Structure 1
Amino acid sequence: MPLCYILPVANQSNNRPVLRFAPSPTGHLHLGHALSAFENERWAAATGGRLLLRIEDIDTTRCRPEFVAALLEDLAWLDLSFEPWPRRQSEHFDLYREALDRLAGMGLLYRSYASRTEIAAAIDRADHPRDPGITRDPDGTPLYPRAALAAADDPAKRGPTEPFAFRLDMTAALAKAAVLVPPLFWREQASPQEAGFEAIPAAPERWGDVVLARKEFPASYHLAVVVDDALQGITHVVRGRDLYHATGLHRLLQTLLGLPEPIYHHHGLILGPDGEKLSKSARSTSLRVLRADGVTPAQIRGMAGIV
């Protein structure tokens, strides 16, 4: 069944708010994950909403079954309850492909064949000391220098088996969105007790021509998350402040695909001794280690600032 027919039905939830906690099983959960799970629990309780669990395992090279089992065990230990059954992204690749095909049908995607080495070289040339200040996205990554890589991305010069990425043509996408719903913004709600919200102007152009899929991966996080939120009828997205700027890009994709717009709340982050957010890549202390050290679920709530 086409995606556009599924979405309106899936978004009906008897007028109850629907929230989700969506960890990625690329490692063990840490205190920052616990904070986000507790915040979703708090919002669901305060609004009388439903709480869903989503396993964001679209990266089949880094996500492992043992991490899925471990996160389920950790969440049970924290006494967090979710509606059955968890949604697994790895079981819905066809839906992401359908969304990708819709964007392609609107002429909003192009194939990027340039390798990391070619991209780095083009960025170095553009960021020469005589012409400094190449534009970077909110995460600090240089924007894709499409004009400088036009020759490298010419399909006629590439073999049929060469790897590529599907990138969003941001200029075309913004023009399309401006026709659909100008101006583009998202609704940020400060707390579950407040009825009002702040309209935050979206600035998806800050991300440039983002990758939405690769030859070996059916969808990026950005594409998969908006499709999943729509299909699960998510009404409130409660997540960390580190994804604040990504919301502008997500609103763009929702607009282009005709998907429902959730309300957003971006909670604060737990920072490590170095002042950076906790992360699996930085090997932040996991909940499993804390549990082995005798820390209780109640103490975890206190460490996460949940009272």
Structure 2
Amino acid sequence: MLDSTSAQVPTLSLADQAGDPDGFAAAFGESFERFGFAIVADHGVPQDLITRAWRETEALFALPEAEKRAYFVAGGGGARGYTPFKTEIAKDAKHVDLKEFWHIGRELPAGHRYADTMAPNIWPTRPEGFKDTFLELFTAFDRAGDRLLSAIARHLGLAPDWFDPAVKDGNSVLRLLHYPPIPADAEGVRAGAHEDINLITLLLGAEEAGLELLDRATGQWLAIRPPEGAMVVNVGDMLQRLTNHVLPSTTHRVVNPPVERRGHSRYSMPFFLHPAPDFLIETLPQTISAENPNRYPQPITAHDYLHQRLVEIGLIKG
């Protein structure tokens, strides 16, 4: 699988945004329109924090199975804490994904108006520095996400701060992913072909081979190979719906490595940037035209849309 054609997704520097916000927004938006993906270097998440997070992630998944399962919430939809190996399945897939993961969400103050729809975090007793590390990383992802949403807003002809109220106290999720070693004859793949649910996804860890996108122009699977330390960013279904498919949510997957690499684990850290639960996903007027009529005349809240999709991927019962 490692010899698959590489996607020609451009690598952009988020540092360019400060001096030329319109130029960065145009390049970022064009990459999203063509691929549904962009690669972003100089994203502002400190490397020492990322290094610490990888160390804590490996230590977490190395815990005994029984200890990890103590943090699994049955019926919780995987919203927080641990989700065991072979639980999630891509929409319409035949086999469950070969992965386990941990979810961290936003810390809300007591009595917050979203407390009934955004579950509290679950923190393991070990590794010892886990909570501090991932609260810090969540905040760093949040900041980077705000800057990228500002570029998207500019590209769409909106005010640069248009997304700010939409994502304030948003239901974003930081997912720690472990794809364990797999046998040569394993059924299924590490992550089946799927689209993300949220607005945008910010992904660390894609330097390890396996991530592929489906090119809509050719129907080919293309490997994504970002430079070391860069972040892969992609459009989620909520943003696709909001923009009437002007910014497309591209199908992607994580394929199994060659036989000689199947004894190795793979780790990644996607940050699924969500709006607040009561944000109304309503087609932006400037994305509707005679050639591109409104696909979604009926708006829906982010909370209701998320619930629909979690049912589809098997994390909650309908």
Tell me if both proteins adopt one fold, taking TM over 0.5 as the criterion: no
Higher relative CO (Cα under 8 Å, sequence separation at least 6) belongs to 1
More strand as a share of residues = 2
Q: TM-score, normalised by structure 2?
A: 0.26
